[in-house]
Amino acid sequence: MQPRVRSALLALVIMIMLVSTAYLAAGALHDRLAPEPEEPVADVRLVAVAIGGLGGEEERSPLLATLNVGGKYDIGIRVQGLRSEGGVRTMFSMECEGIDKGDVDVYYYDPGSDSWKPVAMVDGGDSLQGIVGPPNGVAVYYGYDQLYKLLIISHIDGKCTPDAWVEWG
């Protein structure tokens, strides 16, 4: 083989190695910088619940879309784990036009103390939001299944939309 052909082949091999190395390095850098899309930590649903005398409370109506002054309502939040994660906080909100911090009182049942604990609701405009359960959250794992039972006492008349989700991190 002629020295010119050998030099050309060597240059071609070196160029292919440099391009492939740069391509692999760019992919590794992208993987490191771009956040991986995360699957949800848990499936969260609002469900009807029966309080049945928990913490001395009697049975009430399930939470409806329309609240009445002095009305007491029950609702449940079912959290089912889809992957392992620590510090998962279960959130609850009530969305109503013009709702204010003193318009509803929200409590969750804590089976450990057999008592109703207040949910500190924060004003978010036309919604109130709060953490149900421990403020630092709980460890969730695949197969985790928790039902939070909530008591809502209304101080307003009007249509409200409840919602629940989890946050972590």
pLDDT tens, residue by residue, 31-79: 677 666 578 899 999 998 877 767 556 666 666 667 888 888 889 999 9
Tokens of 55: 């913490």
SS3 98: coil
Identity at 133, one-letter amino acid code:
G
With beta carbons less than 8 A apart as the criterion, state whether 168 and 49 touch.
no
With beta carbons less than 8 A apart as the criterion, state whether 57 and 94 touch.
no
User: What is the rounded distance in angstroms from the CA atom of residue 134 to the CA atom of residue 169?
Assistant: 14
Q: Which of 81, 102, 99, 98 is nearest to 90 (CA)?
A: 81
With beta carbons less than 8 A apart as the criterion, state whether 64 and 125 touch.
no
Q: Which residue has the higher pLDDT, 27 or 104?
A: 104
pLDDT by residue (tens digit) across 86-120?
999 999 999 998 898 889 999 999 988 888 999 99
Q: Angle at the Cα of 64 (from 144 to 133), degrees rounded to 5?
A: 35
Question: How many Cα neighbours within 13 Å face the side chain of 143?
Answer: 0
Record the pTM. Answer: 0.73
Q: Angle at the Cα of 152 (from 163 to 114), degrees rounded to 5?
A: 110
Q: Is the pLDDT score of 127 beyond 70?
A: yes
